[in-house]
């Protein structure tokens, strides 16, 4: 940490803190995630190290760029340095739009949609299953650039399948709810939920309890999007979020 000046705290979780920092050697601004190793199980430590390996290998303009990593022995924490999202995240933007009741234009939706598809494809090319796709993990930059980030719950699936349930419940596909193997199709389902949330300013699947949410997901029940949006957008969301096979069709088309 001696090489960084802490400017502010961006967020905090059970096992990690995200800081806005300035790297002393170059004066540039970055985001620094400090993962508390002493509180982590062996498996959780492996997940943290896996995030570094993923970010090292993936070089794509729609995936958060890894800068460096270090182990701070003073407090037994792992520091992961990535580029700083100067425009926040998509969840924050959706929350702001919800307060002002200002819906995204179709052009705005497609701009985000296509960029996230490209980022997701880059991860899939490395056999990486991004297991927690949600609006809070879509980071925004100057010039309207969107990037997928916070890959600590991602997994390099050597055989193309994964089993661990870590997805956000509102965006989790049926196979995750049933603890069945998932693959790249599961990511496409979750991405469809993010775009739906952007269009409607609310989660695609809603319920008063987890049991009701489970039933709605398994049935594929959700309100249709407004007819002010095109049939192309509506049809794309239908292709991405469906209980039967064929969820990966949109990624192939783009």
Give the residue numbers annotated as catalytic, written as ranges. 132
Chain-centre distance for alpha carbon 91: 10
Cα–Cα nearest to 191, from 106, 133, 231, 148:
133
Integer Cα distance of 168 and 138 in angstroms = 14
Under 8 Å CB-to-CB from 149, ≥6 apart: which residues?
63, 64, 82, 85, 137, 138, 139
Q: Measure the CA–CA gap between 167 and 131, rounded to whole angstroms.
A: 5
- Integer Cα distance of 226 and 237 in angstroms: 13
Nearest to 111 by CA among 66, 62, 184: 62
Nearest to 240 by CA among 209, 197, 179, 207: 197
Identify the helix (H) or strand (E) that includes residue 48.
helix 42-57
Backbone φ and ψ of 9, nearest 5°: -95, 130
Q: Roughly how many angstroms between the first and final C-alpha of the chain, as a whole number?
A: 41
Calpha distance 191→172 (Å, rounded) = 10
């Amino acid at each position: 940490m001696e090489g960084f000046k802490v400017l502010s705290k961006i967020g905090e979780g059970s096992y990690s803190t995200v800081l806005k920092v300035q790297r002393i050697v170059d004066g540039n601004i970055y985001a620094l995630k400090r993962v508390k190793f002493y509180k982590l199980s062996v498996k959780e430590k492996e997940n943290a190290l896996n995030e570094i390996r993923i970010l090292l290998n993936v070089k794509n303009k729609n995936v958060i760029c890894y800068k460096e990593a270090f182990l701070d022995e003073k407090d037994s924490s792992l520091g992961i340095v990535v580029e700083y999202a100067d425009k926040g995240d998509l969840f924050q933007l959706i929350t702001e739009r919800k307060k002002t009741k200002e819906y995204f234009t179709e052009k705005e939706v497609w701009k985000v949609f296509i960029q996230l598809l490209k980022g997701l494809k880059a991860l899939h090319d490395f056999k990486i299953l991004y297991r927690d796709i949600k609006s809070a993990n879509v980071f925004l930059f100057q010039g309207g650039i969107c990037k997928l980030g916070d890959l600590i719950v991602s997994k390099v699936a050597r055989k193309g399948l994964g089993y661990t349930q870590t997805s956000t419940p509102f965006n989790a596909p049926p196979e995750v709810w049933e603890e069945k193997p998932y693959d790249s199709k599961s990511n496409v389902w979750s991405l469809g939920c993010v775009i739906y949330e952007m269009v409607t300013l609310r989660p695609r699947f809603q319920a008063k309890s987890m049991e009701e949410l489970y039933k709605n997901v398994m049935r594929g029940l959700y309100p249709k999007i407004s007819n002010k949006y095109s049939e192309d957008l509506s049809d794309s969301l239908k292709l991405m979020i469906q209980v039967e096979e064929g969820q990966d069709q949109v990624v192939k088309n783009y």
